[in-house]
Amino acid sequence: MVSEEIEVLVVGAGQAGVAMSEHLMGHGVPHLVVERHRVAERWRSERWDSLVANGPAWHDRFPGLEIADLDPDSFASKDQVADYLVAYAEKCRAPIRCGVEVTAVRKNVGRAGFRVETSDGPIDARYVVAATGAFQRPVIPALVPDDAGLVQIHSSSYRNPQQLPAGAVLVVGAGSSGVQIADELRASGRQVHLSVGPHDRPPRRYRGRDFVWWLGVLGKWEAATPPRGAEHVTIAVSGAHGGHTVDFRALAADGIELVGRAVSFADGRIRFATDLAANVANGDANYLSLLAEADAYVERNGLDLPEEAAAHVLGPDPECVTDPVLELDLAGAGITSIVWATGFAADYGWLQVDAFDENGRPEHRRGVSSEPGVYFLGLPWQSRRGSSFIWGVWHDAKYLADQIVIQRGYAAYAADAGPAATGYVAVAGIEDAARLSGTVALGTESTR
Protein backbone atom coordinates (compact mmCIF):
# COMPACT_ATOMS: atom_id res chain seq x y z
CA MET A 1 0.00 0.00 0.00
CA VAL A 2 1.35 3.44 -0.90
CA SER A 3 2.02 5.42 2.23
CA GLU A 4 1.57 9.11 2.85
CA GLU A 5 4.80 10.93 3.70
CA ILE A 6 4.99 13.43 6.45
CA GLU A 7 7.89 15.13 8.20
CA VAL A 8 6.55 15.13 11.77
CA LEU A 9 3.62 13.03 12.92
CA VAL A 10 2.03 14.06 16.20
CA VAL A 11 -0.13 11.33 17.74
CA GLY A 12 -3.02 12.64 19.85
CA ALA A 13 -4.87 15.95 19.82
CA GLY A 14 -5.33 16.71 23.48
CA GLN A 15 -3.69 19.79 24.91
CA ALA A 16 -0.26 18.27 24.25
CA GLY A 17 -0.87 17.63 20.55
CA VAL A 18 -2.42 21.07 20.01
CA ALA A 19 0.51 22.81 21.73
CA MET A 20 2.98 20.75 19.71
CA SER A 21 1.29 21.74 16.48
CA GLU A 22 1.40 25.42 17.39
CA HIS A 23 5.15 25.34 17.95
CA LEU A 24 5.86 23.28 14.83
CA MET A 25 3.77 25.77 12.86
CA GLY A 26 5.80 28.58 14.38
CA HIS A 27 8.97 26.96 13.04
CA GLY A 28 7.38 26.18 9.69
CA VAL A 29 7.89 22.45 10.17
CA PRO A 30 5.53 20.35 8.03
CA HIS A 31 3.51 18.10 10.26
CA LEU A 32 0.24 16.33 10.82
CA VAL A 33 -1.64 15.63 14.05
CA VAL A 34 -3.75 12.48 14.09
CA GLU A 35 -6.42 11.95 16.73
CA ARG A 36 -8.45 8.77 17.05
CA HIS A 37 -11.55 10.56 18.34
CA ARG A 38 -12.05 14.34 18.58
CA VAL A 39 -9.82 17.16 19.77
CA ALA A 40 -9.69 17.14 23.59
CA GLU A 41 -11.75 13.96 23.73
CA ARG A 42 -10.73 13.23 27.32
CA TRP A 43 -12.20 16.50 28.52
CA ARG A 44 -15.24 16.05 26.30
CA SER A 45 -16.33 12.52 27.19
CA GLU A 46 -13.95 10.85 29.64
CA ARG A 47 -14.54 12.93 32.77
CA TRP A 48 -17.48 13.31 35.14
CA ASP A 49 -20.28 15.75 34.29
CA SER A 50 -19.57 18.39 36.94
CA LEU A 51 -15.77 18.48 36.55
CA VAL A 52 -14.21 21.92 36.39
CA ALA A 53 -10.54 22.72 35.89
CA ASN A 54 -8.43 22.50 39.01
CA GLY A 55 -6.75 25.82 38.28
CA PRO A 56 -8.34 29.23 37.61
CA ALA A 57 -8.95 30.29 34.02
CA TRP A 58 -6.22 32.94 34.03
CA HIS A 59 -3.66 30.22 34.77
CA ASP A 60 -4.87 26.91 33.29
CA ARG A 61 -4.62 27.93 29.65
CA PHE A 62 -2.12 28.47 26.84
CA PRO A 63 -0.36 31.84 26.69
CA GLY A 64 -1.84 32.94 23.35
CA LEU A 65 -5.58 32.87 24.08
CA GLU A 66 -7.86 33.53 27.02
CA ILE A 67 -10.79 31.22 27.80
CA ALA A 68 -13.82 32.92 26.29
CA ASP A 69 -16.65 34.34 28.43
CA LEU A 70 -15.08 33.37 31.72
CA ASP A 71 -14.02 35.42 34.73
CA PRO A 72 -10.25 34.81 34.86
CA ASP A 73 -10.47 33.86 38.55
CA SER A 74 -13.16 31.25 37.99
CA PHE A 75 -12.77 27.62 36.94
CA ALA A 76 -13.60 26.40 33.45
CA SER A 77 -16.02 23.50 33.10
CA LYS A 78 -14.75 20.43 31.28
CA ASP A 79 -16.67 21.44 28.16
CA GLN A 80 -15.26 24.96 28.31
CA VAL A 81 -11.76 23.46 28.45
CA ALA A 82 -12.55 21.23 25.46
CA ASP A 83 -14.08 24.15 23.51
CA TYR A 84 -11.04 26.24 24.36
CA LEU A 85 -8.64 23.62 22.98
CA VAL A 86 -10.71 23.35 19.79
CA ALA A 87 -10.69 27.15 19.44
CA TYR A 88 -6.95 27.17 20.02
CA ALA A 89 -6.37 24.51 17.39
CA GLU A 90 -8.43 26.52 14.91
CA LYS A 91 -6.61 29.75 15.79
CA CYS A 92 -3.26 28.04 15.12
CA ARG A 93 -4.61 26.41 11.96
CA ALA A 94 -3.34 23.16 13.40
CA PRO A 95 -3.39 20.41 10.75
CA ILE A 96 -5.41 17.88 12.72
CA ARG A 97 -6.98 14.78 11.24
CA CYS A 98 -9.61 13.34 13.57
CA GLY A 99 -10.93 9.78 13.62
CA VAL A 100 -7.53 8.28 12.80
CA GLU A 101 -5.98 5.84 15.26
CA VAL A 102 -2.31 5.01 15.21
CA THR A 103 -1.96 1.27 15.71
CA ALA A 104 1.81 0.83 15.29
CA VAL A 105 4.98 2.85 14.88
CA ARG A 106 8.13 1.01 13.83
CA LYS A 107 11.60 2.22 12.94
CA ASN A 108 12.45 1.90 9.26
CA VAL A 109 15.18 -0.65 8.65
CA GLY A 110 18.34 0.78 7.10
CA ARG A 111 16.99 4.30 6.66
CA ALA A 112 15.83 7.19 8.79
CA GLY A 113 12.26 7.60 9.91
CA PHE A 114 9.31 5.51 10.94
CA ARG A 115 6.57 3.49 9.36
CA VAL A 116 3.29 4.36 11.02
CA GLU A 117 0.25 2.10 10.71
CA THR A 118 -3.04 3.87 11.17
CA SER A 119 -6.73 3.05 10.83
CA ASP A 120 -6.60 5.23 7.72
CA GLY A 121 -3.60 3.63 6.03
CA PRO A 122 0.18 3.83 6.47
CA ILE A 123 2.19 7.01 6.96
CA ASP A 124 5.94 7.45 6.63
CA ALA A 125 7.18 9.94 9.19
CA ARG A 126 10.67 11.29 9.78
CA TYR A 127 9.83 12.24 13.37
CA VAL A 128 7.08 11.04 15.71
CA VAL A 129 5.74 12.88 18.76
CA ALA A 130 3.74 10.69 21.16
CA ALA A 131 1.27 13.21 22.59
CA THR A 132 -1.13 10.61 23.93
CA GLY A 133 -0.52 11.69 27.48
CA ALA A 134 -0.16 9.97 30.79
CA PHE A 135 -3.85 9.52 31.46
CA GLN A 136 -4.55 6.70 29.03
CA ARG A 137 -5.30 3.53 30.91
CA PRO A 138 -7.45 3.68 34.08
CA VAL A 139 -5.71 1.83 36.89
CA ILE A 140 -7.76 -0.27 39.33
CA PRO A 141 -5.76 -2.27 41.88
CA ALA A 142 -6.54 -6.00 41.83
CA LEU A 143 -8.24 -6.00 45.22
CA VAL A 144 -11.95 -6.69 44.98
CA PRO A 145 -12.90 -9.44 42.48
CA ASP A 146 -15.41 -8.71 39.73
CA ASP A 147 -17.84 -11.24 41.20
CA ALA A 148 -17.91 -9.59 44.64
CA GLY A 149 -21.52 -8.60 44.03
CA LEU A 150 -21.22 -4.84 43.69
CA VAL A 151 -20.65 -2.28 40.96
CA GLN A 152 -17.03 -1.21 40.52
CA ILE A 153 -16.02 1.64 38.23
CA HIS A 154 -12.95 3.77 37.70
CA SER A 155 -13.24 7.53 38.20
CA SER A 156 -12.85 7.97 34.43
CA SER A 157 -16.19 6.13 33.99
CA TYR A 158 -17.96 8.02 36.78
CA ARG A 159 -20.41 10.63 35.47
CA ASN A 160 -22.85 11.53 38.28
CA PRO A 161 -24.49 10.06 41.41
CA GLN A 162 -27.58 8.84 39.50
CA GLN A 163 -25.38 6.46 37.52
CA LEU A 164 -24.68 4.33 40.62
CA PRO A 165 -27.14 1.85 42.14
CA ALA A 166 -28.96 2.97 45.29
CA GLY A 167 -26.90 2.47 48.43
CA ALA A 168 -23.67 3.55 50.05
CA VAL A 169 -20.47 4.10 48.06
CA LEU A 170 -16.81 3.48 48.80
CA VAL A 171 -14.54 5.94 46.98
CA VAL A 172 -10.93 4.79 46.91
CA GLY A 173 -8.30 7.48 46.42
CA ALA A 174 -8.21 11.00 47.79
CA GLY A 175 -6.54 12.96 45.04
CA SER A 176 -8.46 15.66 43.21
CA SER A 177 -10.80 13.14 41.55
CA GLY A 178 -11.58 11.06 44.66
CA VAL A 179 -12.34 13.97 46.98
CA GLN A 180 -14.52 15.74 44.41
CA ILE A 181 -16.48 12.60 43.57
CA ALA A 182 -16.92 11.70 47.27
CA ASP A 183 -18.11 15.25 47.97
CA GLU A 184 -20.63 15.13 45.12
CA LEU A 185 -21.96 11.72 46.19
CA ARG A 186 -22.35 12.87 49.79
CA ALA A 187 -24.13 16.06 48.70
CA SER A 188 -26.57 13.87 46.73
CA GLY A 189 -27.52 12.13 49.97
CA ARG A 190 -25.37 8.98 49.75
CA GLN A 191 -23.51 7.36 52.60
CA VAL A 192 -19.87 7.65 51.56
CA HIS A 193 -16.63 6.07 52.74
CA LEU A 194 -13.48 7.72 51.41
CA SER A 195 -10.20 5.79 51.42
CA VAL A 196 -7.41 8.33 51.96
CA GLY A 197 -3.82 7.62 50.94
CA PRO A 198 -0.78 9.92 50.96
CA HIS A 199 -1.57 13.32 49.46
CA ASP A 200 -0.55 16.95 49.26
CA ARG A 201 -3.27 19.49 49.83
CA PRO A 202 -2.31 23.07 49.09
CA PRO A 203 -4.58 25.88 50.27
CA ARG A 204 -6.90 26.95 47.46
CA ARG A 205 -6.40 30.61 48.31
CA TYR A 206 -4.18 32.25 50.88
CA ARG A 207 -3.77 35.93 51.59
CA GLY A 208 -5.89 36.71 48.56
CA ARG A 209 -3.95 34.63 46.05
CA ASP A 210 -4.74 31.23 44.51
CA PHE A 211 -2.23 28.48 45.24
CA VAL A 212 -1.26 28.37 41.54
CA TRP A 213 0.09 31.90 42.03
CA TRP A 214 1.98 30.89 45.15
CA LEU A 215 3.50 27.85 43.44
CA GLY A 216 4.52 30.15 40.61
CA VAL A 217 6.22 32.88 42.65
CA LEU A 218 7.84 30.31 44.94
CA GLY A 219 9.32 28.55 41.90
CA LYS A 220 7.56 25.27 42.67
CA TRP A 221 5.97 24.73 39.27
CA GLU A 222 9.51 24.78 37.88
CA ALA A 223 10.78 22.04 40.21
CA ALA A 224 12.51 19.48 38.00
CA THR A 225 11.87 16.38 40.10
CA PRO A 226 9.32 15.50 42.78
CA PRO A 227 10.51 16.04 46.36
CA ARG A 228 12.22 12.92 47.72
CA GLY A 229 9.62 10.38 48.89
CA ALA A 230 6.77 12.28 47.22
CA GLU A 231 7.00 10.60 43.80
CA HIS A 232 3.67 8.87 44.25
CA VAL A 233 1.89 11.48 46.35
CA THR A 234 -1.29 12.71 44.75
CA ILE A 235 -2.42 16.31 44.96
CA ALA A 236 -5.85 17.08 46.36
CA VAL A 237 -7.22 20.34 44.97
CA SER A 238 -10.64 21.39 43.78
CA GLY A 239 -12.07 24.11 41.58
CA ALA A 240 -15.61 22.91 42.38
CA HIS A 241 -18.11 25.34 43.95
CA GLY A 242 -15.95 28.30 42.90
CA GLY A 243 -12.82 26.65 44.31
CA HIS A 244 -12.07 25.64 47.89
CA THR A 245 -9.29 24.04 49.91
CA VAL A 246 -9.67 20.28 50.19
CA ASP A 247 -10.23 19.81 53.92
CA PHE A 248 -10.64 16.27 55.24
CA ARG A 249 -12.03 17.54 58.56
CA ALA A 250 -14.78 19.35 56.66
CA LEU A 251 -15.50 16.24 54.57
CA ALA A 252 -15.82 14.21 57.80
CA ALA A 253 -18.06 16.90 59.32
CA ASP A 254 -20.29 16.57 56.23
CA GLY A 255 -20.72 12.89 57.08
CA ILE A 256 -18.08 11.23 54.91
CA GLU A 257 -16.43 8.34 56.76
CA LEU A 258 -12.68 8.58 56.18
CA VAL A 259 -10.69 5.34 56.13
CA GLY A 260 -7.05 4.48 55.40
CA ARG A 261 -5.60 3.00 52.25
CA ALA A 262 -7.54 -0.04 51.00
CA VAL A 263 -5.14 -2.99 51.28
CA SER A 264 -6.97 -6.32 51.02
CA PHE A 265 -10.31 -8.02 50.54
CA ALA A 266 -11.68 -11.38 51.65
CA ASP A 267 -15.14 -12.84 52.34
CA GLY A 268 -16.95 -9.62 51.52
CA ARG A 269 -14.81 -7.61 53.92
CA ILE A 270 -12.35 -4.93 52.86
CA ARG A 271 -9.43 -3.99 55.09
CA PHE A 272 -7.78 -0.60 55.39
CA ALA A 273 -4.25 0.27 56.46
CA THR A 274 -3.67 2.00 59.77
CA ASP A 275 -2.21 5.00 57.92
CA LEU A 276 -5.22 7.35 57.90
CA ALA A 277 -4.07 9.66 60.72
CA ALA A 278 -0.54 9.80 59.28
CA ASN A 279 -1.84 10.57 55.79
CA VAL A 280 -4.05 13.37 57.09
CA ALA A 281 -1.19 14.71 59.24
CA ASN A 282 1.24 14.68 56.30
CA GLY A 283 -1.32 16.48 54.15
CA ASP A 284 -1.72 19.06 56.94
CA ALA A 285 2.06 19.48 57.12
CA ASN A 286 2.19 20.07 53.38
CA TYR A 287 -0.60 22.64 53.67
CA LEU A 288 1.02 24.46 56.60
CA SER A 289 4.45 24.47 54.97
CA LEU A 290 3.05 26.29 51.96
CA LEU A 291 1.44 28.88 54.26
CA ALA A 292 4.80 29.36 55.97
CA GLU A 293 6.64 29.76 52.67
CA ALA A 294 4.00 32.20 51.46
CA ASP A 295 4.32 34.25 54.67
CA ALA A 296 8.09 34.36 54.29
CA TYR A 297 7.72 35.48 50.67
CA VAL A 298 5.31 38.27 51.68
CA GLU A 299 7.69 39.41 54.40
CA ARG A 300 10.80 39.30 52.24
CA ASN A 301 9.21 41.22 49.41
CA GLY A 302 7.20 43.66 51.50
CA LEU A 303 3.92 42.68 49.82
CA ASP A 304 0.67 44.20 50.98
CA LEU A 305 -1.38 40.99 51.22
CA PRO A 306 -3.84 40.67 54.12
CA GLU A 307 -2.80 38.34 56.94
CA GLU A 308 -4.92 35.23 57.35
CA ALA A 309 -4.32 33.83 60.82
CA ALA A 310 -7.45 31.62 60.68
CA ALA A 311 -5.97 29.61 57.82
CA HIS A 312 -3.35 28.24 60.25
CA VAL A 313 -5.96 26.79 62.62
CA LEU A 314 -6.87 23.25 61.61
CA GLY A 315 -8.96 22.03 64.56
CA PRO A 316 -9.02 18.57 66.12
CA ASP A 317 -9.01 15.37 64.08
CA PRO A 318 -12.48 13.89 63.65
CA GLU A 319 -13.32 10.60 65.36
CA CYS A 320 -13.09 8.63 62.12
CA VAL A 321 -9.41 9.66 62.02
CA THR A 322 -8.55 9.11 65.68
CA ASP A 323 -10.45 5.80 65.86
CA PRO A 324 -10.50 4.60 62.28
CA VAL A 325 -12.48 1.73 60.80
CA LEU A 326 -9.91 -0.90 59.75
CA GLU A 327 -12.27 -3.47 58.29
CA LEU A 328 -15.61 -3.08 56.62
CA ASP A 329 -18.23 -5.66 55.72
CA LEU A 330 -19.29 -4.12 52.41
CA ALA A 331 -22.77 -5.65 52.33
CA GLY A 332 -23.27 -4.96 56.04
CA ALA A 333 -22.39 -1.28 55.47
CA GLY A 334 -24.88 -1.14 52.58
CA ILE A 335 -22.09 -0.45 50.07
CA THR A 336 -23.34 -1.25 46.58
CA SER A 337 -20.61 0.41 44.55
CA ILE A 338 -16.94 1.28 44.61
CA VAL A 339 -15.46 4.19 42.66
CA TRP A 340 -11.75 3.64 42.14
CA ALA A 341 -10.12 7.07 41.88
CA THR A 342 -6.76 5.37 41.71
CA GLY A 343 -5.16 7.08 38.77
CA PHE A 344 -4.05 6.26 35.26
CA ALA A 345 -1.16 4.62 33.48
CA ALA A 346 0.41 5.36 30.14
CA ASP A 347 -0.17 2.90 27.31
CA TYR A 348 2.34 2.97 24.50
CA GLY A 349 1.67 -0.48 23.07
CA TRP A 350 1.44 1.13 19.61
CA LEU A 351 4.91 2.68 19.87
CA GLN A 352 7.13 -0.25 19.00
CA VAL A 353 10.51 1.47 19.18
CA ASP A 354 13.50 1.47 21.48
CA ALA A 355 12.28 4.29 23.73
CA PHE A 356 11.40 2.46 26.93
CA ASP A 357 13.27 1.19 29.95
CA GLU A 358 13.09 -2.38 31.28
CA ASN A 359 9.88 -1.52 33.13
CA GLY A 360 8.23 -0.20 29.99
CA ARG A 361 8.50 3.43 31.08
CA PRO A 362 9.43 6.10 28.54
CA GLU A 363 13.17 6.61 28.53
CA HIS A 364 13.73 10.26 27.81
CA ARG A 365 15.25 13.58 28.76
CA ARG A 366 12.69 16.35 28.77
CA GLY A 367 10.67 14.33 26.25
CA VAL A 368 13.56 13.56 23.88
CA SER A 369 13.50 9.78 23.86
CA SER A 370 16.32 7.28 23.65
CA GLU A 371 15.11 6.43 20.11
CA PRO A 372 16.34 9.26 17.90
CA GLY A 373 13.38 10.85 16.14
CA VAL A 374 10.79 9.87 18.77
CA TYR A 375 9.54 12.39 21.32
CA PHE A 376 7.16 12.16 24.29
CA LEU A 377 4.87 14.96 25.36
CA GLY A 378 2.46 15.30 28.28
CA LEU A 379 4.31 13.10 30.76
CA PRO A 380 4.10 14.03 34.44
CA TRP A 381 7.33 15.75 35.49
CA GLN A 382 8.50 15.63 31.87
CA SER A 383 10.64 18.69 32.53
CA ARG A 384 9.02 20.19 35.63
CA ARG A 385 6.12 19.91 38.04
CA GLY A 386 3.91 21.88 35.65
CA SER A 387 4.46 19.47 32.74
CA SER A 388 1.13 17.64 32.83
CA PHE A 389 -0.89 20.84 33.18
CA ILE A 390 -2.32 22.79 30.26
CA TRP A 391 0.10 25.70 30.51
CA GLY A 392 3.09 23.48 31.38
CA VAL A 393 2.74 21.20 28.37
CA TRP A 394 2.92 24.30 26.15
CA HIS A 395 6.47 24.99 27.35
CA ASP A 396 7.52 21.35 26.90
CA ALA A 397 6.10 21.41 23.36
CA LYS A 398 8.16 24.52 22.64
CA TYR A 399 11.30 22.73 23.76
CA LEU A 400 10.54 19.64 21.65
CA ALA A 401 9.81 21.74 18.56
CA ASP A 402 13.23 23.36 19.00
CA GLN A 403 14.84 19.93 19.29
CA ILE A 404 13.15 18.75 16.12
CA VAL A 405 14.32 21.86 14.26
CA ILE A 406 17.88 21.22 15.46
CA GLN A 407 17.74 17.60 14.30
CA ARG A 408 16.31 18.63 10.95
CA GLY A 409 19.28 20.95 10.61
CA TYR A 410 21.71 18.10 11.12
CA ALA A 411 19.74 15.86 8.78
CA ALA A 412 19.86 18.54 6.07
CA TYR A 413 23.58 19.10 6.38
CA ALA A 414 25.47 18.37 3.20
CA ALA A 415 29.26 18.52 3.48
CA ASP A 416 29.72 20.38 0.22
CA ALA A 417 26.95 22.85 0.98
CA GLY A 418 28.76 24.06 4.10
CA PRO A 419 27.34 25.21 7.41
CA ALA A 420 24.72 27.43 5.79
CA ALA A 421 22.71 24.29 5.13
CA THR A 422 22.30 23.60 8.83
CA GLY A 423 19.89 25.33 11.11
CA TYR A 424 17.94 26.96 8.29
CA VAL A 425 15.74 24.11 7.24
CA ALA A 426 12.93 25.58 9.31
CA VAL A 427 12.76 28.57 7.00
CA ALA A 428 12.59 26.33 3.98
CA GLY A 429 9.87 24.37 5.76
CA ILE A 430 7.45 27.28 5.99
CA GLU A 431 6.20 26.75 2.48
CA ASP A 432 5.71 23.07 3.20
CA ALA A 433 3.71 23.89 6.29
CA ALA A 434 1.48 26.28 4.40
CA ARG A 435 0.95 23.67 1.71
CA LEU A 436 0.14 21.07 4.30
CA SER A 437 -2.27 23.19 6.31
CA GLY A 438 -4.05 23.95 3.07
CA THR A 439 -4.51 20.30 2.22
CA VAL A 440 -5.65 19.10 5.62
CA ALA A 441 -9.22 20.07 6.36
CA LEU A 442 -9.43 22.42 9.30
CA GLY A 443 -12.29 23.88 11.24
CA THR A 444 -15.37 22.49 12.80
CA GLU A 445 -15.63 19.14 11.06
CA SER A 446 -12.06 18.04 11.57
CA THR A 447 -11.39 19.39 15.03
CA ARG A 448 -14.58 18.66 16.94
Provide the binding-site residues for ligand FAD, judged by CB under 6 A: 11-17, 34-37, 41-43, 47, 53-55, 60, 101-102, 131-133, 135, 177, 350, 378, 388-390, 393
Give CA 190 to chain center in angstroms: 29
* Residue 14 Cβ vs ligand FAD, minimum distance, rounded to whole Å: 2
* Residue 422 Cβ vs ligand FAD, minimum distance, rounded to whole Å: 32
* Residue 96 Cβ vs ligand FAD, minimum distance, rounded to whole Å: 10
Q: Is the Cβ of residue 245 or residue 422 nearer to ligand FAD in the bound state?
A: 245
Are the beta carbons of 419 and 394 closer than 8 angstroms? no
* Residue 370 Cβ vs ligand FAD, minimum distance, rounded to whole Å: 20
Alpha-helical runs (H) found in 218-265? 248-253
The number of helix segments (H) and strand segments (E) in the chain equals 11, 23
* Residue 50 Cβ vs ligand FAD, minimum distance, rounded to whole Å: 11
- Residue 412, classified by CB atoms within 10 Å of its CB into exposed (0-12), middle (13-18) or buried (19+), is middle
Tell me the one-letter amino acid at 306: P
Q: Is the Cβ of residue 185 or residue 321 nearer to ligand FAD in the bound state?
A: 185
Q: Is the Cβ of residue 43 or residue 221 nearer to ligand FAD in the bound state?
A: 43
Tell me the one-letter amino acid at 101: E
Sequence-separated (6 or more) residues with CB below 8 Å from residue 283: 198, 199, 200, 201, 236, 248
Q: Is the Cβ of residue 47 or residue 107 nearer to ligand FAD in the bound state?
A: 47
Give CA 44 to chain center in angstroms: 14
Q: Is the Cβ of residue 191 or residue 403 nearer to ligand FAD in the bound state?
A: 403
* Residue 274 Cβ vs ligand FAD, minimum distance, rounded to whole Å: 29
Q: Is the Cβ of residue 107 or residue 154 nearer to ligand FAD in the bound state?
A: 154
**Cα gap 141→187, rounded to integer Å:** 27
303-340 burial, b at 16+ Cβ within 10 Å, e below that, comes to eeeeeeeebeeeeebbebbeebbeebebeebebbbbbb
Sequence-separated (6 or more) residues with CB below 8 Å from residue 250: none
